[in-house]
Amino acid sequence: MSKVPLTARGAAQLKEELRRLKLEERPKITAAIAAARAHGDLKENAEYHAAKEQQGLTEARIRDIEAKLANAQIIDVTAVNAGGKVVFGATVHLVAVSDGSEAKYQIVGEDEADIKNGLLSIGSPIARALIGKKEGDEVEVTTPSGKRAYEIAAVEYV
């Protein structure tokens, strides 16, 4: 499995989720299974089956997070010296050439992406087009909604 890029903030969020799942959710599910078993016949016990299903989903998520963290390449954006270029973790201020609208995105790993909060996946068309460019460069991006042109107004490493 190849290395998965993560920002330091994204790695901390995954570690917190893993802690919560192991120390809070697991005991709750175990207690729910024990309570459902106490009701008797397990074949027709919906509570038992729901708790077992929840246990399976939680254990799968725990394994998924552990694998991602084991293969993570944690990148501290503040320590990167990219010379003004757009790199993984950089925050990019864009101005649409067509209408002058502004947008601000941070380029993050797949698991951290949240477009509503300005967190853009490294695998997205916009991020791929921005990587390696500098402030003042114009970038044309082919998105599902068509071609768009942006000017890079600023690049920050925060």
The total of other beta-carbon atoms located within 10 Å of residue 127's CB is 21
Q: 77-156 has which CATH code?
A: 3.10.50.30
* The predicted structure's pLDDT at residue 78: 82
Structure tokens at 147: 């071609």
Strand-pair partners of 103: 94
Q: What residue segments make up the domains of the chain, in order of their start?
A: 4-75, 77-156
**Model confidence at 1: pLDDT above 60:** no
Q: Which pLDDT belongs to residue 105?
A: 95
Q: Which tens digit of pLDDT belongs to each residue from 131-157? A: 999 999 999 988 778 888 999 999 998
The 10s digit of each residue's pLDDT in 55-72 is 999 999 999 999 999 999
Structure tokens at 122: 């490294």
CATH 2.60.40.10 correct for 4-75 = no
